[in-house]
Amino acid sequence: MRLKTIHRISGIFIALYVVAHLVNHLASLWGPEAHIRLMDALRPSYRNVLVETVLLAAIGMQIYSGTRLFLADRKTAMGFFEKLQHWTGLYLAFFFVVHLSAVMVGRHALHLDTNIYFGAAGLNSFPLNLFFIPYYGLSILSFFGHLAALHTRKMSTKVLGISPKQQSYGIMMLGLLAAFLILFGLTGYFRGLQMP
């Protein structure tokens, strides 16, 4: 199986999880309790040995294949969306390594509940938020940017008179909105979320 095919298949599986994860973070707009309720409802679907193992393997494959594709194609990438796909993919690889390492250490070594308070702690304390706000914001923008770049390459049909390139810009704008709303919710509407 070709590296690009493996990358695409693992990417689809990861994207399904990431969408659910981002929807969970959007629930923070209704407060930490709503976020925790939705997380508790979602966790049984992914926090089991089978799904978690497949998800972690897919992320590992995504990091490996994405890095190889980046190194092979970065000098020949032409145009905005091709370059966007390469650079957002590289950032996502970095984010996955750092984020998953933190979550796994938190869960397995420190025995913490990695709920909203675990993820939002750095967003709500100065000076840590100077790192964590761009770190999380760029991860969301990179996810949507990567999808937008892929959409430009694969989509050839207008939808409601909107060209594939315009659709891709729309996907990027949706990512910007999602990043803003998630950070807005996870920071208690930019006033600071009270930590327990």
E strand or H helix that includes residue 150? helix 129-154
Handedness of CA 106, 111, 114, 117 (dihedral sign): negative
Rounded CA-CA distance 41/17 in Å is 14
Beta bridge partners of 190: none
Rounded CA-CA distance 182/196 in Å is 20
Sorted by sequence, the CB contacts under 8 Å of residue 27 that are 6+ apart come out as 34, 35, 37, 38, 39, 185
| Greatest alpha-carbon span in the chain | 53
DSSP letter (8 states) at residue 48: S
Please report the pLDDT score of residue 1 as a whole number: 75
- Could you give the count of Cα atoms lying within 13 Å of 92 in the half-sphere of its Cβ? 28
Give the tens place of pLDDT for each residue, 86-104: 999 999 999 999 999 999 9
With both helix axes pointing from N to C terminus, report the angle between 164-186 and 3-26 in degrees, rounded to the nearest 10: 40
- Residue 113 sits at φ, ψ, to 5 deg, of -80, 115
The CA distances from residue 134 to 2, 40, 82, in Å, are 34, 27, 23
Give the tens place of pLDDT for each residue, 19-31: 999 999 999 999 9
What average pLDDT does range 22-47 have in this prediction?
A: 97
Helix (H, G, I), strand (E, B) or coil at 185: helix
Please report the pLDDT score of residue 196 as a whole number: 87
Give the tens place of pLDDT for each residue, 119-153: 999 999 999 999 999 999 999 999 999 999 999 99
